[in-house]
């Protein structure tokens, strides 16, 4: 049952987001929470409509928003203690609420017997379709089957009752007005900028770190720990740039530095000419004072027979 209720709540949220196009972001969570303030500002199930309307007006809302947002009770459940007085002792009379439909009264009395042990029992806020977001909540009010006293009180005000009747027949109007009222309510008491906080867990407020830890974290973030890698990268880029410039000047035949015995360019050219442009160094010249032996000519073989005949 709880899983199905969670699914329906999720569908309601998605439906609302799709129905309206002005969902604003950037809200922040408060730093504190107060049960007392919540009880004072949120309408209760036993309050008269006048009190509920006054609370809405103090937040910039109106009677229409009261009726529309009460339609959120089309899904969900309420504990018996929130409406049991209507079943057995309405306003100290010792009798049930005379406005409550008789068949609904019988069903609710079976779910919530007049015993303290039943106070936490659950009853659907919208018995025809407790798991569906629709307009049947308003149909129940028209037939005097509203669960909470604050729900059924809407039919006691002419303005509110007119809206209830219109939503009973026009579900699309309820959907549209519900989206608009949700946007209005979402703009009440918004915290932005540096006010409030962003909670990773919705329940408890996040505890800010001690001032010393915060200062250390700031120093570590802005000190040498973050500048060191930048300096190292710049140094590597500078060295590579110098080497690239030197190789470029050597390949183009220009000098960089030094002459004579400190002729660095000449030494690099002699050592790296073959790898730079494919040249081959010429052989070293021989000193002029070293005698060179001339090749020895071979004598022609003598023809002894020819000489004998000549003689």
Strand partners, 77: 124
113: annotated binding-site residue?
no
Nearest 5 degrees, angle CA 104-CA 106-CA 112? 95
43: annotated binding-site residue?
yes
For residues 52-84, b (16+ Cβ closer than 10 Å) or e, as one string?
A: bbebbeeeebebbbbbbbbbbbbbbbbebebbb
Helix or strand holding residue 136 (H, E): helix 136-142
259: annotated binding-site residue?
no
134: annotated binding-site residue?
yes
**Would you say 280 and 274 are in contact if contact means Cβ atoms under 8 Å apart?**
yes
74: annotated binding-site residue?
yes
Instruction: Spell out the residues 6+ positions from residue 306 whose beta carbon is closer than 8 angstroms to its own.
Output: none
**Would you say 171 and 107 are in contact if contact means Cβ atoms under 8 Å apart?**
no
Sign of the dihedral defined by the CA atoms of residues 184, 185, 186, 192, in that order: positive
Binding site per annotation, positions for heme b? 73
Binding site per annotation, positions? 43, 73-74, 126, 134
Binding site per annotation, positions for substrate? 43
Binding site per annotation, positions for Ca(2+)? 74, 126, 134
């Amino acid at each position: 049952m709880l899983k199905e209720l969670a699914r329906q709540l999720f569908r309601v949220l998605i439906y609302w987001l799709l129905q309206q196009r002005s969902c604003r972001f950037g809200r922040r969570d408060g730093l504190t929470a107060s049960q007392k303030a919540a009880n004072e500002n949120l309408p209760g199930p036993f309050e008269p409509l006048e009190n509920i309307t006054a609370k809405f007006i103090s937040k910039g809302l109106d009677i229409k928003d009261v009726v529309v947002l009460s339609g959120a009770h089309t899904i969900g459940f309420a504990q018996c203690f929130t409406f049991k007085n209507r079943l057995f002792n309405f306003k100290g009379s010792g009798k049930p609420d005379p406005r409550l439909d008789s068949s609904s009264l019988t069903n609710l009395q079976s779910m919530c017997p007049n015993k303290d042990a039943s106070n936490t029992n659950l009853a659907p806020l919208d018995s025809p379709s407790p798991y569906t977001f629709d307009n049947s909540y308003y149909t129940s009010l028209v037939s005097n089957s509203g669960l909470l006293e604050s729900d059924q009180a809407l039919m006691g005000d002419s303005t509110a009752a007119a809206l209830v009747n219109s939503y009973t027949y026009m579900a699309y109007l309820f959907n549209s007005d519900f989206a608009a009222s949700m946007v209005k309510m979402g703009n009440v008491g918004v915290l932005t900028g540096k006010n409030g906080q962003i909670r990773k867990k919705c329940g408890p407020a996040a505890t800010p770190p001690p001032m010393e830890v915060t200062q250390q974290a700031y120093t570590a973030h802005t000190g040498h720990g973050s500048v060191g890698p930048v300096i190292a990268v710049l140094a590597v880029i500078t060295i590579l740039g110098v080497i690239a410039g030197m190789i470029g000047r050597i390949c183009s035949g220009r000098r960089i530095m030094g002459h004579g015995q400190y002729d660095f360019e000449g030494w690099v050219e002699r050592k790296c000419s073959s790898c730079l442009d494919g040249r081959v160094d010429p052989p070293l010249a021989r000193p002029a004072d070293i005698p060179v032996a001339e090749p020895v000519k071979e004598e022609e073989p003598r023809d002894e027979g020819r000489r004998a005949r000549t003689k």
